[in-house]
Amino acid sequence: MAVELKTKEHIRGIRKAGRIVAACHKALSKRIAPGVTTQEIDRFVERFMLDRGAIPAQKGYKGYPFATCASVNEVVCHGFPDSEPLEAGDIVTIDMVADVDGWKADSAWTYAIGRTNNAVEKLLLTAEQALVDGIKQAVLGNRLGDIGYAVQTRAERAGFEVVTAFAGHGNGKSVHEFPEVLHSGIRGQGMKLEEGMVITIEPILTAGKADVYITTDGWTARTRDGAWAAQFEHTVAITKAGPIILTRWE
């Protein structure tokens, strides 16, 4: 299970795709509002990528039928876009992968629709901060367990659980590469981080129990207890100069 280390040239390639993903998320952050459907969001994302010379790489990946995953409220991830209008107070995670010249970049973001209550706000802020904490640990000399530990600690101190059924991953010419990046763990354990690793960190936090199930569509993951879930994901390169967020919003 070899990890493919990337050269500076490769990382530049992934960053090209990452810039499009980031710009697309930024555009979505201004568009997502009550009444918008996830189908409309999906079409917007697909158009946005194609217009910029990128391919929406989730479409067709292992048979997944859409450009985006759109996961509303208690949907944990891999939700199908549909014609249901989003309502004020909902949250939706939009996950997307762009491919430019074969290089992939992957980022998910949870958006609040209109106003949300304080508890939901806290879930979103904590999940985003857990991602930030994880990224800070993505430095040479550390191990994967340091990333997982940082994410898990942030989540649990705020009273949330990490959904451990899903993990981050290596990223490059393929959507999913080695290593698997767990969002829980023990400091100093797991694979050593090396220069040229490109990984995603993508914690999913829930306000309830972390148990999930897959619905009959074969993709949509929901919490068993119906508690809401939030996810923030970046594609990150590990370099001598520290972690570089390749999907950072500009």
Residues found near Co ion in the complex (CB under 5 A): 106, 200, 202
List, in sequence order, every beta strand (DSSP E) within 48-192. 55-56, 68-72, 75-77, 91-100, 103-112, 161-162, 168-170, 177-181
| Site for ligand MF3 contains 42 (CB under 6 A) | no
> By C-beta, is 52 or 59 nearer to ligand MF3?
59
Residue whose token pair is 């996950």: 95
Please select the residue that binds ligand MF3; options are 15, 19, 78, 222, rule is CB under 6 A: 78
Q: Is 16 left (phi over 0), alpha (psi -120 to 50) or beta?
A: alpha
> By C-beta, is 116 or 179 nearer to ligand MF3?
179
* Nearest distance, CB of residue 109 and ligand MF3, angstroms: 11
| Site for ligand MF3 contains 62 (CB under 6 A) | yes
Binding mask 198-217 for ligand MF3 (x = CB under 6 A): --x-x---------------
Q: Is 193 in contact with 40 (CB distance < 8 Å)? A: no
- Subset of 153-182 contacting ligand MF3 (CB under 6 A): 175
What is the Cα–Cα distance from 174 to 147, expressed in whole angstroms? 22
Residues that bind ligand MF3 (CB under 6 A): 58, 61-62, 64, 69, 78, 95, 97, 106, 108, 175, 200, 202, 233
